[in-house]
Amino acid sequence: MGSIYAKARLFICIGVCVIAYILVFAFTWSLWLGHAALLILIIAVFIDYYFLSQACRQVDAHRTVKDQLSLSDEQQINYSVTNDSSIDLNIEIIDELPHQLQQRDFLYNTVVASQNKYNRIFKIRPVIRGLYNFGKLYIYASTTSISLLQRRVTFDIGKDVSVYPSFIQMKKYDLQIFNKVATMTGIKKVRRIGKTDEFEHVKNYTQGDNIKSINWKATSRKSEIMINQFQDTRSQSVYCIIDKGRSMKMPFEEMSLLEYAINSTLVLSNIILKKYDRAGIITFNESLSTFLKSDNKKGQISRISQALYDEETSYKESNYRGLHFHLRKKLTRRTVLILFSNFENVYDMRRALPYLRQLNKLHLLVIVFFTNTELISESEKNVELISDIYGVTFAKKALIEKELITEELRAYGIQAILSTPEELSVNVINKYLEIKAKRML
């Protein structure tokens, strides 16, 4: 675009001189003024070209972007343009951004003084996982004095950047869970039921210990009071199961429901590992896609993040019968299953219900599905036209049906969470902490 504007300015100058030449020739029958105007223009163009060519050789530009970006989080790209020449320059910056960012109007205009540096921050929010290709960086420069010409300088600084599930949110919730500000962000502190029940070791009695935990055999041998030390139950298996069927392709604020489920899975898996439990993931659509066995060894969160990196939705119906069949074979111990799915109506839920009930008998099943916030705003809209009545009625019916799905699942003893996409991570963390506190497994 910058080069087009420069050419336009040049053509306008030439046109003005030609018109002046014609007018002078028509009214004065003299050519000297027209020739003089054209000569001045040609000299100005050559002067501008010379200084611009010399200056552009001393212009440098850089783009700084991290090797890995976090899905759905606002991050930044840093641009710097250095002008080491002896003249001030008008600068236009155009970047070949990845097509996933959908930024087609990227253009910065500025003046970079001689022997000076210009820095600019551009904020981005990736909403799709995958490989992002940053291409060439273009600088269009022109002199501030004459400004008849504009020259393009190309910087071949292409770079491939991977966008992973939100590790920024993972770190944020990690800090919130394990410090005192958790309740300020929606994380609930659930009261623990009963005492801790996993034996750790025997230790000497100190004032304030529970006398009910005295180990009388150890006391008689040591001739001093010894008590049993207990700790929270650890090494429970927790699997996050992600439905990749067509219902999870529904968009919300530029992201699909699958992306929200993947972000929450990474966040929850990190909390599970920090609580000394074992985290694993399962994804499925018409068949079982990914099965990462639950573990709490070092590097498990990286394996989970890498496994989630390539997951995509399909346009087919999810096969709950196949899911039930595979889990019966692969999971031999009772575990916690947190299933991310999206039932749009009661009929869809009832088709999957027999298999969900069987899974709930063998394991502790928690089903997480989504409420449509756009329907909430539609149902609260003021009705002015007859067409508005139909829209409001449909929205309220859809919201009521979601509540009916929740109640029916709970009636069969299945834990159910109906959540908005933006509150998904908080809700699943609270449910996991509740399961731990109440020892529901």
Cβ–Cβ < 8 Å for 137, 77: no
Residues 214, 248: one domain? no
Answer whether residue 178 shows pLDDT above 80: no
Whether residues 309 and 221 share a domain: the answer is no
CA distances from 417 to 285, 403, 407, 410 (A): 21, 10, 10, 10
How many angstroms separate the CA atoms of 307 and 107, rounded?
37
Q: Provide the pLDDT confidence category of residue 291 given band limits of 50, 70 and 90.
A: very high
Q: Position of tokens 């022997």?
A: 115
The answer on pLDDT for 25 being more than 60 is: no
Task: Say if residue 112 is in the same domain as residue 176.
Answer: no
The mean-pLDDT minimum among 10-14, 293-297, 389-393 falls in 10-14
What's CA 220's distance to the chain center, in Å? 60
Rounded to 5 degrees, φ, ψ at 244 are -110, 20
Output the pLDDT for position 1.
45
Q: How many domains does the chain have?
A: 3
228 forms beta bridges with 202
**2: confidence class by pLDDT, cuts 50, 70, 90:** very low
Average pLDDT over residues 269-289: 92
Say if residue 302's pLDDT is above 90.
yes
Percent of the chain with pLDDT strictly greater than 70: 83
**Are residues 54 and 146 located together in one domain of the fold?**
yes
416 shares a domain with 297: yes
429/4: higher pLDDT: 429
Pick the closest to residue 439 from 237, 192, 177 (CA basis). Answer: 192
Residues 376 and 269 in one domain: yes
Find the mean pLDDT for residues 324-340.
93
Per-residue confidence (pLDDT) for residue 33, from 0 to 100:
67
Confidence (pLDDT) at 339: 96
* Domain housing 83: 1-164
Looking at the structure, do residues 150 and 282 belong to the same domain, yes or no?
Answer: no
- 124 and 27 assigned to the same domain: yes
> How far apart are the C-alpha atoms of 338 and 335, rounded to whole Å?
10
Q: What CATH number did the domain enclosing 338 receive?
A: 3.40.50.410
What CATH code is carried by the domain that includes residue 17? 2.60.40.10
CB-neighbour burial class of residue 82 (10 A; exposed 0-12, middle 13-18, buried 19+)? middle
CA 94 to CA 3: how far, in whole Å? 12
Same domain, 280 and 252: yes
Residue 217's pLDDT is: 78
Q: Tell me the two tokens of residue 383.
A: 């009705």
226 & 239 share domain: no
pLDDT at 70 exceeding the cut of 90: yes
Give me the sheet containing 68-70, strands edge to edge: 68-70, 159-164, 130-134
Count of beta carbons in the 10 Å neighbourhood of residue 115 = 12
**Residues 284 and 294 reside in one and the same domain:** yes
pLDDT tens digit sequence for 79-135: 999 999 999 999 999 999 999 998 887 888 999 999 999 999 999 999 999 999 999
Residues 396 and 419 in one domain: yes
Q: What is the mean pLDDT of residues 146-162?
A: 91
Average pLDDT estimate for 268-294: 92
Averaged confidence pLDDT in the chain = 84
Choosing from 119, 149, 164, the residue where a domain stops is 164
Query: In whole angstroms, what is the distance from residue 120 CA to residue 417 CA?
Result: 43
Of all residues in the chain, the percent with pLDDT exceeding 90 is 49
pLDDT band at 184 (very low <50, low <70, confident <90, very high): very low
pLDDT at 20: 60
pLDDT value, residue 30: 52
Tokens describing residue 150: 């504009």
Domain C-terminal end among 147, 164, 181: 164
Per-residue confidence at 23, pLDDT binned at 50, 70, 90? low
How confident is the model over 60-81, as a mean pLDDT?
A: 94
Token couple for 193: 């039921």
